[in-house]
Amino acid sequence: MHSMPSEPVQNLKNHPRFIPIYHAFALPILALNAVWTIVHAITMPSWGSAFAALVGIALVIVALFARVFALRVQDRVIRLEMRLRMRDTLPPDLVARIPEFTIDQLVALRFASDQELPALARRVFDERLNDRKAIKRLVAQWQGDHLRA
């Protein structure tokens, strides 16, 4: 996963994905709408205002779950990709242990270069590391992932 020329160099500090139209516009508008319709349903109770409040809440839930579902699928793809990559880069004793890696470990390890992946994978097992952030902090040669949900 090499960065494209137009993409900034990715590292631990700048890798979280922020989608302005989603995180800074759509989600806040939906949240404000939910609050507004709930307040309206409380201050001016009617079947219509109650239904509007329910729709407002449902829209926030749909928006949040759409993101969660996309990230879950992305994690499954990363798991598959990393298992294939590890077959080519890990020593035989670790290749046999590939199924033991958790999704959290694989998601974090994807940022490691091929050169450092074997040692880092062994360290993850030896130290029983499972926290994504802790594993990412150990990556010395960061390999960006710009194809993310």
Q: Using one digit for the tens of pLDDT, what is the confidence trace for 90-142? A: 999 999 999 999 999 999 999 999 999 999 999 999 999 999 999 999 999 98
Q: Residue 11 falls within a domain, yes or no?
A: no
Query: Residues 94, 45: one domain?
Result: no
Mind listing the pLDDT tens digit for each residue in 59-90? 999 999 999 999 999 999 999 999 999 999 99
Query: Residues 108, 70: one domain?
Result: no
Domain final residue pick, 52, 77, 102: 77
For 16-38, what is the mean pLDDT?
Answer: 93
User: How would you label 48-70 residue by residue, b for 16+ Cβ within 10 Å and e otherwise?
Assistant: ebeebbeebbebbeebeeeeeee
Tally the domains of the chain.
Answer: 2
Residue of 149 and 138 predicted with greater confidence: 138
Q: Residue 1 falls within a domain, yes or no?
A: no
Q: Whole-structure pTM over 0.85, yes or no?
A: no
Query: Residues 55, 94: one domain?
Result: no
Question: Of 77, 139, 84, 80, which is closest to residue 108 (Cα–Cα)?
Answer: 139
pLDDT band at 149; cut points 50, 70, 90: confident
**What residues make up the domain containing 98?**
90-144
Q: Residue 7 falls within a domain, yes or no?
A: no
Whether 1 has a pLDDT exceeding 50, the answer reads no
Query: Residues 133, 98: one domain?
Result: yes
Domain final residue pick, 33, 56, 77: 77
DSSP class of 7: S
